Structure formats: C-alpha cells, structure tokens
Amino acid sequence: MFGYVGGKNKQANWISNQFQSNLTSYAECFGGAMWVYWKTNILDQKYNPNFKEAHYNDIDPLNYCTFKSLKDIEFLQFATEYCKDWFINDIERVNRYRLELIELKDNSEYNWEEVLKFLYVIPHLYNNDLNVINCEIKVYGSDTNPVNKRFLNSKTLRQLSNPSIRRKLNLLKVHNKDFIDFIDSIDVDLLYVDPPYEGTPIDHYRLGHNIFQKEEHLKLADYLNNYKGRFILSYYHFDYIEDIYPTDKYYYLEKEYSVGTRKAVKKTEVLILNYKPSDSDILKF
C-alpha cells in the first residue's frame, strides 16, 4: 500500500500475530492505509478459507475514496496511463497537488485524478523532517530512493494486481464515518483500533483539519470499555493510558520500533487487547 503517517507497515506482522485463528470477519475503524490488513497472511484463502468479510473505515473522505477506487480494477489501468510522467520527490508537483487538495471542498465523491494526487502527496508527507504546520515539504527518502524513481511503478501495480490483494479488496466494504457510528454499524469477530496518537492532534495534509484531542481519546476509551466484541488497540505510551485502560482489565504488549525514515529514532509501540494473547507476549494483566 502507501506510506502513511502512523501507518503500521513495520508493526503489521506483530499485530496480526495476535489475531485469533479462524476469523470470519475483521474491521479497522481508523483505517488510514490499513497496513495490518494488507500485510497479514492469516486471512489468506490458504490459511483461512472461512474468512468472508472485512471493513475499512476512515473519517477522511480522501482515504475513503482511495479505497473505493482501489477496489475497481479499472482504476489501476487508469492510474498507469494518468501517472506515467510522475516521478517521486518532485517537490513542485507535491506542493501543487497538496494545495489543490486543500482547496477542494470535503466531499465523498473525489474522482480518480484527485485520488491519484492524494496517493502521490501522502508518502511525501511521511517524513520526520516535514514541518506540516508551516506547509513546508522536503524531499523524502533522498538517501535511499533514486530521484527518478517512477511513482506507481510496475512493481507497485503488480502488487496491487496480486490475487491475494485482489481477494482482500473484493472482501472489503468501505465506510466514511466517525468511529463510533461505524463500530455501531458492524458486527465482526475482531476490531483493530489505531487512532491518531495522543499528542499528534493535526492531520497531515490539510493543516488543523480533523482534530483528535484528549476528549476524543477519552470518548474512545469510554466506548471500548463497554464494547462487547474483541478488539486490539494500538498506542504509544502517554501519561494517562493506564487510567483509561486499566492494567487489571486489559492485556498490554509492547515492542520497540524505529520510526519514519530515520532508523535511529525508536518508539515503543503498545498493544492493548481485551482478550488473551499468546502467553509469551503478555506484559501486564
């Protein structure tokens, strides 16, 4: 999929190792780029032929339209032609498209051109050096990525056409709701919850839009504390985490990861489960 602020690319296998076997349905209420779903093979036909239903939800309409577009195989055809002259790290293009996206009025019907501009801009924002508040975009991955690498190159397109990914896309229902409305509307074996982290109040390309502040974190905790199904919640540590998710009620797991493009920056990822994970992983109960 695509580089995304807060995306769980590196943590996906660790997280999906906590999935119970024989899941028949799965949902992500803060979908983003939905890395855990794409990377796990636990839901593949080969391992789990009974898996039949997945739900993606994100309040951001551009994320929603991106996933709706990806479900349509003709979108890939269109993208190949439309983006043939696009190269990564073209900062003039990044800034132009980003400003165009900011100008667009929120709606749920972005067209394929707009979705592709979003897909182009988003990975460039996945950068520790980026100062989103001042709207300043810098080159990403300059040490490792050749400047003339094509956006949506044949490798990316091949991955998106891969039968396992197409199956996952076919099983996926896509939603554009606030998280509570979404969770209330589904009934699944497992819910993966990956909210914007505490202390990261702004979204990444529209400056200040879509704020997720302390009261939203409290609202989420309140809701999950009464949730009847199984869930896995991702966070970094913050000062009141154990007050709102008591350690005698939930299982806590932890793992250290390097973040962003600078491998030296390490963060400890926390998973909170309301069901028993495999014994070796348990940290607190």
Contact assessment for residue 205 and residue 101, using Cβ atoms and an 8 Å cutoff: yes
- Region binding ligand SAM by CB under 6 A among candidate stretches 95-103, 151-159, 193-201, 257-265: 193-201
Closer CB to ligand SAM, 3 or 277, in the complex: 3
Using rule CB under 6 A, residue 277 touches ligand SAM: no
Q: Which residue has the tokens 């493009």?
A: 261
Q: Does 194 interact with ligand SAM (rule: CB under 6 A)?
A: yes
**Residue 128 C-beta: closest distance to ligand SAM, Å:** 16
Element (H, E) at 88: none
Among 19, 25, 27, 33, binds ligand SAM (CB under 6 A): 33
The reply on whether position 217 binds ligand SAM by CB under 6 A is no
Query: Could you give the string, one character per residue 7-26, with x where binding to ligand SAM holds by CB under 6 A and - elsewhere?
Result: xx------------------
Query: Which CB, 90 or 253, lies closer to ligand SAM?
Result: 253
Cα separation, 115 vs 104, whole angstroms? 12
- Is 168 exposed, middle or buried (CB count within 10 Å of its CB: 0-12, 13-18, 19+)? buried
* Piece of 42-50, 55-63, 89-97, 147-155 that binds ligand SAM (CB under 6 A): 55-63
Decide: residue 228, CB within 10 A, 0-12 exposed, 13-18 middle, 19+ buried: exposed
Stretch that binds ligand SAM, among 6-14, 144-152, 183-191, 275-283 (CB under 6 A): 6-14
Per-residue contact string for residues 63-102; x = within reach of ligand SAM by CB under 6 A: x---------------------------------------
CB count in 10 Å sphere of residue 183: 23
Tally of residues, the chain: 285
248, 285 Cβ separation under 8 angstroms: yes
Q: How far apart are CA 62 and CA 65, in angstroms?
A: 5
Specify which residues 231 forms β-bridges with.
191
In the complex, the residues that contact ligand SAM under the rule CB under 6 A are: 4, 6-8, 30, 32-35, 57-60, 63, 178-179, 194-196, 203, 210, 212
